[in-house]
Structure 1
Amino acid sequence: MKKSGLSSLSKKQKTIISCGLILSAAVCILSFCLWARSFKNPQNVKPLTEEQSLSLNAVLDQTYPLNRGNDLKPLPYPIVQAQLDVQSGSAILIDTSNGCVLFEKNADEVIPPASITKLFVMYIVFKEVQEGNLSLDELVQPPESSWAINMPPSSSLMFLGQGHKVTVRELLKGLAVASGNDAAIAVANKVSGSTKAFVERMNYEAKALGLTNTYFVEPSGYSEKNLTTARELAKFCRIYINTFPQSLSDFHSLTEIRYPLKENLPSWQQSKGDTMAVYQKNTNPLLGVLEGCDGLKTGFIFESGYNLALTCQRQGVRYLSVTMKGPGKGSKQGNYYRCQDGTTMMEWAFSSFADYDPKKHISQSYTVPTPGSKTKFINLVPAWNSTVTVPHLRAQTALEDAQNVVAEVQIPRYIYGGTECGKIWGQIQYKLGDTVLETVPLVADRQSLKSGLWGRFWGALATFTLRA
């Protein structure tokens, strides 16, 4: 009777088969170990597609609106409210890089903005230029309604007149430097065809920016029925200068204007040359006086008092203040108090705070293995990456304190079984000594789908190597 199966094999054949099985097992084990160990060597993750980027930003914008949006916010650590000697009835001071409020006084009181209204006019013009609907060098023939002689009593003027030829750029200078009511009317008609239509546009833009207490009835700021608050003005000004930073160097920091020049005059006045030009200094009295001041806009009507939107930048740090209902009997005294208030707040801000920019100091992406999912690695990214406002606590200056900030990054060794886009898996904690300045979540930059049963099994085994 013949033997069957292994019993029929010779000893040599059995040895060969056994060695083959052992070798195959060893190859499998080695392959698995190499595959599992590959999770310990992070690879470059494919950049997000446009669709993935949009999905991530949508999730983060919805989850962290205060940190990613345009709203102003309190500092992320407790401070004692400064007792500043600010004479204005309403005031606010912010860090423009992140929207943190450093100081405020009656900041939600509704007050006419006066000529600060003109910043909204300039914002709309810059948007029109950005969208290709308008050119700064485009010529405008001021309509009769914008001539200086037709402006209300006591108006600030650029001195537009009949037959003048003026560029959009010159009108913006007239708004920023001379605070010309005539320039505001000319721009309104150029952009929207009528003052009424332009005011509707102003209110549309204010609503789109979430300025619920801001409302306009005309574009120059002359009317007391234009309304806003110091907080909303600060929010708008931050958006304005962050969106159009060139507005500061090209317009708001200009110290003077001369208009009309010969080139602006109609043919019947050309023989007068530049003799009709009116020289006017910038209405902002702190330009060239307060270190780093390069804007922004003054405003005054009797119902508002002396208003000032002020911004200064020193060593890369920019602050912005808004003061409204400033006291004063006459422009000389009014300017004195708004200069005093602006200087007080700015000097206090620069001596008490500085900015730490995470993007300049630490990585903004951390690769983590994802065993048990269809994606081998994903990146963890900060939920927001704005600067951190650092208080002056230890060093000789606030800037030195900012240089001593330490970022502690906490991330998992691995993420098993996939993840949703935007899910929190770690954090970055910014500290100055023992003081925690801010904690920012680290989130998955994309979705990673869970593997099938077999993939999850091998992924679970791989986690043992990642724990070592």
Structure 2
Amino acid sequence: MNKKARWVLVILSLMLVFSMLLPYLASAAENEGPELSSDAAYLYNTGTDEELYGKNEDKQFSIHSLSMLMTTYILIKDLENGKVSVKDKAKISEKAWRAPEPRMFLEVGRKVSVQKLLEGLTIAAGNDAAITTAEYISGSTDKFVKRMNKEAKDLGMKNTEFYTPNGSNDDLSTAKDLFILAKALSDKYPQYQKYFTTQKMKYDTRPGKTVILRNQNNFIYDNPHSTGLKSGWGNHQYHLIASVNKNGMKFIAVTLNASTPSKRSTDIYRLLVYGYNQYQVIQLARAGEKYTDFSVYKSTTPGPSTVAYKNDVNVVTRVGVLKEELELDYSGHSYIVGGTKAGDELGKVNIYYKGKLLGEEPVVATESFERVKGFSAALDSIALVFRQLFDLVTH
């Protein structure tokens, strides 16, 4: 074999080896996570309770106006505990009036409802709203800040230090700590989620003067699956705490210290795509689809009767899991009694994969049943006792 032929053979061999390794190299790169320009980031699947990615997630950074999310958390907590009411009125101080933008344009000496303060925090991201909230709840911003730090400690935010209710260069936290706060808000108070995705609010700064305030978080406009939560900036550094629900895939993503708003958006997009690519949605049934037939007791209408799924039944799994590998287990009544109405829930189907609960979906009656009386009811009562004993033994 001449020298030229040997070189051709070597090159072809190297190309063959490289082509064989390429899938493994690509897989390794994917497992390392997305390439981000932000100084810190964190991604968590709240639907499956899995940590997916971290970059300097425990390193402290100035979080600026993201501090306002803790102020919001405390206000919502006090609303739910009955310590304050949305109808309460808070007096606006000069300190709040002098707050820098963004503001909801509170005017010194006037009063503002707690309802509007809640909107001002979640929608307008108003510095004046945060200061007024702090003064109303604790009497002063200093006292309120002490509570902010106590709440952070109680939540397990180990690397967080608050110095203001509205945010400053001195306020410090980490990507992981901010995730903990965002998750606490989402888990404990889901009914307030609507505020974080509301695009605008109205506020009467004074009689006859109404302002329209736009949501400061551009993420909710750019992502149709957004469920919140908050953007922040300061000293030419841009941050974002984003939550999404895409076909049942629920993620919270945090990025800190992007150099521009566009790079912040790009990083969040890359984080979420990285998360989406690891999961799939399996549809098991549609709303109204038959689950099984149940026997009927103590009713003028004889059984059996069809029992159906109340909602669409979808579960999120890792990519590669087959529908056939999922296990269904029913818990609840295995029969229908007179007096049951169409749509009444009878029990639920629990969905498992390798022993892990992925979800549970209710099943409902598809027709109404009039209760029978007299001798027939007595006979059915006896039959029902034996049915319940049977169910007890078999389960």
Name the amino acid aligned to 1:393: G
Residues 197, 355 of structure 1: CA spacing in aligned structure 2 closer, same or farther, 3 A cutoff?
farther
Residues 236-267 of structure 1 show CA distances to partners (whole Å, capped at 9, x for unaligned) of: 21111111112211x101111333x2xx52xx
Q: Is the 8 A contact 1:113 1:226 kept in 2?
A: yes
Residues 90-136 of structure 1 show CA distances to partners (whole Å, capped at 9, x for unaligned) of: 11111123541112222111112221111111111111111111011
1:141 is aligned, of 84, 91, 97, to 91
Residues 83, 316 of structure 1: CA spacing in aligned structure 2 closer, same or farther, 3 A cutoff?
closer
Q: CA-atom RMSD, angstroms? A: 3.1
Name the SS for the 2:220 alignment partner. coil
Distance 1:167 1:408 in 2: 49
Q: How far off its partner does 1:389 sit?
A: 6.4
Residues 245, 90 of structure 1: CA spacing in aligned structure 2 closer, same or farther, 3 A cutoff?
same
Q: Is the 8 A contact 2:278 2:319 kept in 1?
A: yes
Distance 1:191 1:98 in 2: 36
Distance 1:217 1:290 in 2: 32
Aligned twin of 1:240: 185
Name the amino acid aligned to 1:339: S
Residues 192-222 of structure 1 show CA distances to partners (whole Å, capped at 9, x for unaligned) of: 111111101101111111111011111101x
Distance 1:79 1:338 in 2: 22
Aligned twin of 1:279: 212
Aligned twin of 1:125: 75
1:352 aligned onto 2:278: yes
Q: How far off its partner does 1:183 sit?
A: 0.6
Distance 2:111 2:75 in 1: 18
Name the SS for the 2:117 alignment partner. helix
Distance 2:166 2:115 in 1: 17
Q: How far off its partner does 1:79 sit?
A: 11
Aligned twin of 1:85: 35
Aligned-pair identity (%): 29
Q: Is the 8 A contact 1:388 1:437 kept in 2?
A: no
Name the SS for the 1:248 alignment partner. helix
Aligned pairs for 1:393-412 within 5 A: 393=320, 403-407=323-327
For structure 2, which runs of at least 5 residues remain unmatched after alignment? 1-27, 284-313, 330-349, 359-392
Structure with higher Rg: it is: 1
Residues 110, 404 of structure 1: CA spacing in aligned structure 2 closer, same or farther, 3 A cutoff?
farther
Q: Is the 8 A contact 1:98 1:388 kept in 2?
A: no
1:151 aligned onto 2:95: no
Regions of 4+ moved over 4 Å? 354-357, 428-431, 436-440
Distance 2:282 2:144 in 1: 40
1:253 aligned onto 2:204: no
Name the amino acid aligned to 2:318: P
Aligned twin of 2:318: 391
Distance 1:146 1:211 in 2: 27
The normalised TM-score by structure 1 is 0.55
Aligned pairs for 1:10-409 within 5 A: 81-147=31-97, 150-152=98-100, 155-221=101-167, 223-249=168-194, 251-259=195-203, 261=204, 264-265=205-206, 270=207, 273-274=208-209, 277-302=210-235, 305-328=237-260, 334=261, 336-354=262-280, 390-393=317-320, 403-407=323-327
Distance 2:29 2:279 in 1: 12
Distance 2:233 2:55 in 1: 19
Distance 1:126 1:216 in 2: 18
Distance 2:39 2:137 in 1: 35
Name the SS for the 1:320 alignment partner. strand
Distance 1:115 1:323 in 2: 14
Q: Is the 8 A contact 1:93 1:319 kept in 2?
A: yes
Q: Is the 8 A contact 1:95 1:389 kept in 2?
A: no
Q: Is the 8 A contact 2:230 2:240 kept in 1?
A: yes
Alignment: residue pair count: 283
The normalised TM-score by structure 2 is 0.65
Name the SS for the 1:309 alignment partner. strand
Higher normalized contact order (CA 8 Å, seq sep 6+, divided by chain length): 1
Q: Is the 8 A contact 2:227 2:244 kept in 1?
A: yes
Distance 1:321 1:437 in 2: 28
Q: Is the 8 A contact 1:352 1:391 kept in 2?
A: yes
Name the SS for the 2:61 alignment partner. coil
Residues 25-61 of structure 1 show CA distances to partners (whole Å, capped at 9, x for unaligned) of: xxxxxxxxxxxxxxxxxxxxxxxxxxxxxxxxxxxxx
Name the SS for the 1:81 alignment partner. helix
Name the amino acid aligned to 1:287: I
Structure number with higher strand proportion: 2
Residues 441-465 of structure 1 show CA distances to partners (whole Å, capped at 9, x for unaligned) of: xxxxxxxxxxxxxxxxxxxxxxxxx
Mean CA deviation greater in 96-105 or 336-345: 96-105
Name the SS for the 1:122 alignment partner. helix
Q: How far off its partner does 1:354 sit?
A: 4.5
